[in-house]
Amino acid sequence: MKKSLIAAAALCACAGAAQAQSSVTLYGVVDAPIEYVSNMPKAGGGSANLFRMASGGGLSGSRWGLRGTEDLGGGNQALFVLESGFGIDNGASQQGNRLFGRQAFVGLNNNQFGKITLGRQYTTIFDVLANFSPTGYATMWEPVVQQLGLNFRSDNTAKYTGTFGPVTAEGHWSFGNGALGAGEAPGQFRRDSGYGLGASYIAGPLGVGVAYDQYNPSLNGAGGATGTIRKAAVAASYSFGSAIKVMAGYRWGQAQAPAGLASALSQYRDDYYWAGINYQATAALGLTLGYSYDNFKSMATSATTSVNPPNPWQVQLVADYNLSKRTDVYVMGAYAKNAGLGLDNLSINFANGYTPATGKDSMVGVAVGLRHKF
């Protein structure tokens, strides 16, 4: 059970006057997986299998956070979220050693018109497609970076979210993503900026979402020049009672650099597809099957140039057993072809850390883990 600290003050200059009610909630997840991965590169050359306690988490990234609201009256609220990620294996802060690297924002909400939030936040495309991820954006081996981009968390971001019956509309603007580049440089408004728009419809068993995202990364050593990474996606889901949910989606992608700066950015044009099913076999046991496939039309990087490289694909399996409402154990498996686990490849500069050894074009991953939510 989440622990809530609720305070209501009655400080007044005259009888009957009182401050509005406010609340702060402490919450978190502690997730410890033990992982096996095949075909990892070995020091001195060749390949080897890897056994480790993974620091990033399995089904969830380990975190703790504070979430607060204050009732301002008239259907208005002030709100904030501060969320810190950490490695369960050593307790170190993650997301670039940030204190609140997962989320850090403040905002205002109106019950009728929606909310505005300011700070480090998830992008619109991340929010819109969350309902259509088979594994719920599981931390381990989920192709989130390939699907959504390295900027799926963005600094210096203003975001609007409005819910109108079954429809949720959203849009964001990032003034400069300091996590990935310089950001907010004087006289360079476009540098490391980004924006997105999206909407979802969730009613009864049916869900539909559509989103667009653009990120303009700095090109190192290019005198303030920027590239352009665009992504557009559509997804749908359908639930058969409370036991089965199926989902599928498509994401169009393109990364470009200015003429003469092709080597400063991994450029590509791809079509990314995914599908999955969630099956609640019993009250305690949930099963998930997910499949991802990326059709590269072209790719050009600083290291190599290739037209129609081998297309990466991955299948994921998850069995999750709830010991209680807050504690579960799970087994995960994945097989990736023509890429590392999580569809790690040159287009994202192997950002997930699963680079196949030289001469290897596939990887197998197996993990068992224990997760506790508070």
pLDDT tens per residue, range 244-285: 999 999 999 999 988 777 666 889 999 999 999 999 999 999
Strand partners, 162: 169
For the chain, the domain total comes to: 1
pLDDT, position 157: 97
Rg (Cα) of the chain, in Å, rounded? 22
Read off the pLDDT band of 161 (50, 70, 90).
Answer: very high
pLDDT, position 301: 73
What 3-state DSSP class applies to 261? coil
The closest of 110, 144, 109 to 127, measured between CA atoms, is 144
Average pLDDT over residues 300-315: 81
pLDDT tens per residue, range 218-231: 886 556 788 999 99
Please check the confidence at residue 322 and state whether its pLDDT lies above 50: yes
CATH number at residue 318: 2.40.160.10
Read off the pLDDT band of 182 (50, 70, 90).
Answer: low
pLDDT, position 6: 36
| 217, amino acid identity | P
Lowest mean pLDDT among 10-14, 163-167, 316-320: 10-14
In a domain, 53, yes or no: yes
Tell me the backbone φ, ψ of residue 142, rounded to 5 degrees.
-70, 130
In a domain, 59, yes or no: yes
Range of the domain at 126: 3-8+19-373
Query: H or E segment at 298?
Result: strand 285-300
In a domain, 202, yes or no: yes
User: In angstroms, rounded to a whole number, what is the distance separating the alpha carbons of residues 201 and 207?
Assistant: 6
In a domain, 302, yes or no: yes
In a domain, 14, yes or no: no
In a domain, 13, yes or no: no
In a domain, 203, yes or no: yes
User: In angstroms, rounded to a whole number, what is the distance separating the alpha carbons of residues 167 and 189?
Assistant: 32
User: In angstroms, rounded to a whole number, what is the distance separating the alpha carbons of residues 48 and 55?
Assistant: 20
The closest of 11, 27, 29 to 19, measured between CA atoms, is 11
In a domain, 175, yes or no: yes
pLDDT tens per residue, range 75-120: 999 999 999 999 999 999 999 999 999 999 999 999 999 999 999 9
Tell me the backbone φ, ψ of residue 257, rounded to 5 degrees.
-125, 155
pLDDT, position 44: 87
User: In angstroms, rounded to a whole number, what is the distance separating the alpha carbons of residues 39 and 52?
Assistant: 14
| Environment class of 311 (CB within 10 Å of its CB; exposed 0-12, middle 13-18, buried 19+) | middle
